[in-house]
Amino acid sequence: MQKRGFLCSTRIPDKIMENNMSVEECWFVYGFKFLNLYIGFLKYHSIGSAAEVDFDWEKVLASKNLIGWCHSHPDHFEVASGTDHKTMRSWVRTLEKSLICCIKCKTTIKGHVCYIFRRNKKTIENQKVKSILIHNLLICQHLTQL
């Protein structure tokens, strides 16, 4: 059984859940940062429920090459949820580095959105960034060097 460490979208009403067979999925993103680019590969696929997905946090602590996560929001919500923000802020503080939060969402033209969460003095800030996702290759570009 996986340890709890979920990212999830806002609560989907029961009526929508009953009619929807889609579930959230999650991948670790492993890679590196070069100037203002984050280049990574999606790995360790996990499947959750309609509104949340777990990942194995022991894998997070065991890897120095983790640069973030990608997870899906099956129906709506192309923005990071409150739980996503909370999860990302916690991991940025724990790992003491900037992290990518990529959200696969069918309602966007390119099929996903990406944020970079980073520490700025005592707060954790996030910014939507330019990105491409081709199969399991993810490249994010921040406007300024982080």
Site residues (CB under 5 A) for Zn ion? 7, 9, 81, 84
- Tokens 């509104």 label which residue? 51
Of the pair 7, 70, the CB lying nearest Zn ion is at: 7
Report the residue number whose CB is nearest to Zn ion.
Answer: 84
CB of 45 to Zn ion, least distance (A): 16
Of the pair 81, 131, the CB lying nearest Zn ion is at: 81
CA–CA distances in Å: residue 71 to residues 118, 122, 136, 144: 18, 27, 12, 25
Rg (CA), the chain: 14
Of the pair 81, 98, the CB lying nearest Zn ion is at: 81
CB of 72 to Zn ion, least distance (A): 8
Of the pair 7, 92, the CB lying nearest Zn ion is at: 7
CB of 8 to Zn ion, least distance (A): 5
d(CA 23, CA 74): 6
CB of 145 to Zn ion, least distance (A): 27
d(CA 29, CA 15): 33
d(CA 77, CA 81): 8
**CA dihedral over 53, 56, 57, 62, signed as positive or negative:** negative
